[in-house]
């Protein structure tokens, strides 16, 4: 697809048409500010980009519709695309007009109408240039959606704006925008022909086939295991059905008899069963009851001993109280002088303990009372000394009683659990039978499928699925895919090197290649790889951009790849026009710059002629070389007041 003409429509119906020659070098030369750079944005807008990036000013003020007339093939098929400028303050629109026809020409303004949106526009134009249905597979673990290459992605390889063609870090159009770099990595292999259009579909088929294979392998494994263990399962199921009373206790000769018996158990009434505990449960219950009685008897004895001890303490307290009362009565004897204790004192006689007079014979009453007081005190001390032992004994009895109570409580709880379990078994016996019936149904359904025919069918399905998986894996071999990409990039790299040598670029005599991972040109120098970011001077940056895009389009054209057959460059010679005077005249000042500019245009001329009539180059630049072949390539010269927008359009707009 090549550009025949760009047509701008004024709101009053006037048109501004720019004609281009397919299969040739087309040059639009002129001074700064004449609208040259706007042509690239108009072309991109007419290829389906929703956002209109035409600069605000005379163009956006006077143009109502932008359109492009495309040549689809050599047989005369054409496509006319028209886009209205966004309404109001909007910067984008999806409205478009698309028509196909032989010898088609742009219609007048009143016939322009939107009949398609930009998504369908890109799709239909892509089909016209040979873009098949394709989806780029992002990989099994990627979170990105599959990307379908369209004419918008092809345009990224056909356009170079002024800021991009001289960039050392941006090799392709819009590469600095979010997601565009990844889109280029995904779609360039398809445009090179290294990836089949149906690769994503085949990868999806491979994923489905692998899932089917995993499912069949699991089913086959389960079938084999079931065939090996079905007799064991039927035996276990028979024992379970017999335990819940659904089947009689008897011997069965073979699997068929057992299956028929289990089938009858699904509807049979349960046999009468005793609801009593098992022998083990009965023994446990008996032991617990004996222990309960022992604990109850021991607790009763402990409580009786505790009662006796408490009564004894109470009686002792009464005795101590009586003795202490008697002692308090005799304590007054302490007022009497003590009895004489030596023979010397007794020789002089005895004194009366009450009045102190001399007595011939002593009065024994006081002494007797003193002895009684001493005895009372001894008795009180003995009784009081026994109290700590009583308290300790009472504490021990309390601890023993508490231990017996706890053990008795545990025993009673165990007995209650046995009773509760028996009640639960009685209540859920019917549910157990229903559960067993359900298990019989499930097991018998599996038993019916366990046969050699079913296993053989599964085995055949497995073999067929494995064959499909192996075939798809061979077709989608990642190593082969990478080898295909590398082979095509090597072919492109050879042309990059050849074109770079014609432009006298640095490192052009060494190996030069396109690095798809980093989306840049890399020169393999003696000291290691040098990407474009490490190659100095704007001359080299522009030169390698030009060489790379010409090499890519040479490959696309020769191998008939589905890419637009034009390359549009904006200001590729900007590095050689340092002054405004040079921009006005279109001739660089120094001889070295003139030689470099001429080499660039000669290279573009030669490549277009070599690929003619299948490739077109459009250059918007200041350059205006005084060479006959250059003059023949100039389609528009915008100098001395001539611009993209006619002056009368501006006069009408200002009026």
Q: What mean pLDDT comes out for the span 267-291? A: 69
Percent of the chain with pLDDT over 70: 76
User: Which residues lie below 8 Å from residue 11, measured CB to CB, with a gap of 6+?
Assistant: 62, 64
Q: Per mean pLDDT, which range of 38-52, 351-365, 531-545, 623-637 is the poorest?
A: 351-365
Structure tokens at 636: 């528009």
Could you give the C-alpha distances from 641 to 34, 196, 316, 621, 637, in angstroms and in order?
8, 51, 138, 16, 10
> Does residue 335 contact residue 355 with C-beta atoms inside 8 Å?
no
Q: Which of 203-212, 408-417, 505-514 has the highest mean pLDDT?
A: 505-514
Indicate whether 274 pLDDT > 50: no
Rounded to the nearest 10 degrees, the angle between the axes of helix 478-502 and helix 180-192 is 90
CA 595 to the chain's CA centroid: 56
Give me the phi and psi of 158, to 5 degrees please.
-115, 0
- Rounded to the nearest 10 degrees, what angle do helices 199-243 and 387-449 cross at? 120
For residues 566 and 2, is the Cβ–Cβ distance under 8 A? Answer: yes
Return the pLDDT at 18.
97
Looking at the DSSP bridge assignments, the partners of residue 520 are: 515
In 10 A of CB 513, how many CB atoms? 18
Residue with the bigger pLDDT between 424 and 78: it is 78
Is the pLDDT at 293 greater than 70, yes or no?
yes
Give the residues across from 531 on adjacent strands. Answer: 522
Please determine, for residue 72, whether its predicted confidence score (pLDDT) is greater than 50. yes
Any bridge partners for residue 529, and if so which? 524
CA angle 190, 195, 196 (to 5 degrees): 105
- Summarize pLDDT for 127-137 with one digit per residue, the tens: 999 998 777 76
pLDDT mean across residues, the chain: 82
- Dump pLDDT digits (tens) for 624-638: 999 999 999 999 999
d(CA 411, CA 405): 10
Strand partners, 97: 82
Using 50, 70 and 90 to split pLDDT, how confident is the model at 6? very high
Tokens read off for 180: 């565009």
- pLDDT at residue 503 greater than cutoff 60: yes
pLDDT tens by residue, 362-384: 666 656 666 666 666 666 666 56
Cis omega before residue 613 (within 30°)? yes
Q: Cα–Cα distance between 408 and 580 in angstroms, integer?
A: 112
Percentage of the chain modeled with pLDDT above 90: 43
Strand partners, 159: 568
Rounded Cα distance between 298 and 195, Å, is 93
Rg (CA), the chain: 56
* Structural contact between residues 237 and 262, judged by C-beta atoms closer than 8 angstroms: yes
| HEC per residue, 387-401 | HHHHHHHHHHHHHHH
- Long-range contact set of residues 591-600: C-beta below 8 Å, sequence gap at least 24: 594/625, 596/503, 596/504, 596/539, 597/573, 597/623, 597/625, 598/625, 598/627, 599/502, 599/503, 599/504, 600/503, 600/542, 600/543, 600/546, 600/572, 600/573
Query: Looking at the predicted structure, is the pLDDT value of residue 334 above 90?
Result: no
Q: How far apart, in whole angstroms, are the C-alpha atoms of residue 84 and residue 45?
A: 10
Judge whether residue 611 has pLDDT over 70: yes
Instruction: Give the pLDDT of residue 205.
Output: 79
The yes-or-no verdict on residue 506 having pLDDT over 80 is yes
**Residue 346 confidence (pLDDT) above 50:** no
Three-state secondary structure call for residue 353: coil
Distance between CA atoms of 386 and 388, rounded to whole angstroms? 6
Pick the closest to residue 638 from 15, 27, 6 (CA basis).
27
pLDDT at position 343 is 46
pTM: 0.63
Taking residues 65-87, what's their average pLDDT? Answer: 93
Point out which residues pair with 619 in neighbouring strands: 27, 569
Asked if residue 417 has pLDDT above 70, the reply is: yes
pLDDT for the residue numbered 23 = 95
For the ranges 12-26, 185-199, 400-414, 438-452, the lowest mean pLDDT is seen at 438-452
Local confidence band at 70 (pLDDT 50, 70, 90 cut-offs): very high
Helix (H, G, I), strand (E, B) or coil at 147: strand
Residue 100 has pLDDT above 90, yes or no: yes
pLDDT tens for residues 212-247? 999 999 888 887 777 667 667 777 777 777 776 677
Of 63-72, 281-290, 324-333, 548-557, the least confident: 324-333
SS3 call for 18: strand
Per-residue confidence (pLDDT) for residue 118, from 0 to 100: 95
**Per-residue pLDDT band at 332 (split at 50, 70, 90):** low
Closest to 195 (Cα-Cα) out of 146, 231, 159, 160? 146
Per-residue confidence (pLDDT) for residue 342, from 0 to 100: 46
The residue ranking higher by pLDDT, 349 or 623, is 623
pLDDT of residue 200: 59
| Tokens coding 138 | 């992002």
Indicate the range of 135-144, 342-351, 382-391, 569-578 predicted with least confidence: 342-351
Among 95-104, 198-207, 295-304, where is mean pLDDT lowest? Answer: 198-207
């Amino acid at each position: 697809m090549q550009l025949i003409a760009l047509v701008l429509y004024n709101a009053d119906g006037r048109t501004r048409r720019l004609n281009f020659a397919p299969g040739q070098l087309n040059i639009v030369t002129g001074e700064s500010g004449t609208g040259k750079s706007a042509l690239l944005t108009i072309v991109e807008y007419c290829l389906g980009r929703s956002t209109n990036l035409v600069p605000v000013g005379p163009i956006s003020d006077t143009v109502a519709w932008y359109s492009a007339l495309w040549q689809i093939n050599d047989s005369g098929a054409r496509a006319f695309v028209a886009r209205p400028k966004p309404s109001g303050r909007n910067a984008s629109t999806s409205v478009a007009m698309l028509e196909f026809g032989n010898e088609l020409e742009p219609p007048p303004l009143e016939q322009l109408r939107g009949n398609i949106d930009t998504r369908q526009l890109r799709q239909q134009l892509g089909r016209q240039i040979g873009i098949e249905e394709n989806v780029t597979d992002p990989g099994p673990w990627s979170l990105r959606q599959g990307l379908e290459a369209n004419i918008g992605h092809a345009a990224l390889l056909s356009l170079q704006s002024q800021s991009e063609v001289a960039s050392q870090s941006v090799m392709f159009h819009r590469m600095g925008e979010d997601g565009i770099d990844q889109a280029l990595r995904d779609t360039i292999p398809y445009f090179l022909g290294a990836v089949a259009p149906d690769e994503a579909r085949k990868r999806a088929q491979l994923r489905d086939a692998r899932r089917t294979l995993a499912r069949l392998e699991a089913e086959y494994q389960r079938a084999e295991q079931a065939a090996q263990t079905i007799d064991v399962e039927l035996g276990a199921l028979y024992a379970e059905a017999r335990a819940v009373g659904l089947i009689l206790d008897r011997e069965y000769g073979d699997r068929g008899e057992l299956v028929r018996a289990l089938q009858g158990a699904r509807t049979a009434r349960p046999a009468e069963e005793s609801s009593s505990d098992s022998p083990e449960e009965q023994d446990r219950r008996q032991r617990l009851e004996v222990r309960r009685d022992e604990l109850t008897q021991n607790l009763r004895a402990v409580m009786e001993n505790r009662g006796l001890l408490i009564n004894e303490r109470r009686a002792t307290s009464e005795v101590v109280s009586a003795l202490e009362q008697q002692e308090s009565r005799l304590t007054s004897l302490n007022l009497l002088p003590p009895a004489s204790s030596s023979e010397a004192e007794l020789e002089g006689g005895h004194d009366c303990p009450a009045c102190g007079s001399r007595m011939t014979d002593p009065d024994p009453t006081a002494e007797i009372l003193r002895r009684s007081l001493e005895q009372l005190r001894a008795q009180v001390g003995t009784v009081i000394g026994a109290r700590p032992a009583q308290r300790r004994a009472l504490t021990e009895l309390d601890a023993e009683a508490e231990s017996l109570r706890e053990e008795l409580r545990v025993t009673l709880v165990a007995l209650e659990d046995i009773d509760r379990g028996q009640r639960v078994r009685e209540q859920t016996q019917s549910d157990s039978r229903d559960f067993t019936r359900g298990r019989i149904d499930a097991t018998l359904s599996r038993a019916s499928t366990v046969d050699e025919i079913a296993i053989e069918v599964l085995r055949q399905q497995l073999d067929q699925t494995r064959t499909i998986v192996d075939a798809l894996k061979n077709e989608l071999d990642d190593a082969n895919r990478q080898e295909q990409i590398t082979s095509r990039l090597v072919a492109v790299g050879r042309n990059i090197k050849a074109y770079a040598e014609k432009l006298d670029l640095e490192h052009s005599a060494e190996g030069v290649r396109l690095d798809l991972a980093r989306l840049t040109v890399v020169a393999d120098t003696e000291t290691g790889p040098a990407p474009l970011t490490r190659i100095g001077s704007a001359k080299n940056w522009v030169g390698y951009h030009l060489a790379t895009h010409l090499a890519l389009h040479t490959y696309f054209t020769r191998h008939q790849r589905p890419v637009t057959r034009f390359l549009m460059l904006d200001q590729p010679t900007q590095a050689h026009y340092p002054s405004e005077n040079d921009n006005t005249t279109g001739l660089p000042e120094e001889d070295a710059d003139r030689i470099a500019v001429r080499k660039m245009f000669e290279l573009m001329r030669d490549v277009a002629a070599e690929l003619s009539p299948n490739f077109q180059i459009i250059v918007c630049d200041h350059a205006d070389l005084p060479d006959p072949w250059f003059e023949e390539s100039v389609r528009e010269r915008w100098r001395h007041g001539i611009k993209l927008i006619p002056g009368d359009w501006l006069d009408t707009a200002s009026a």
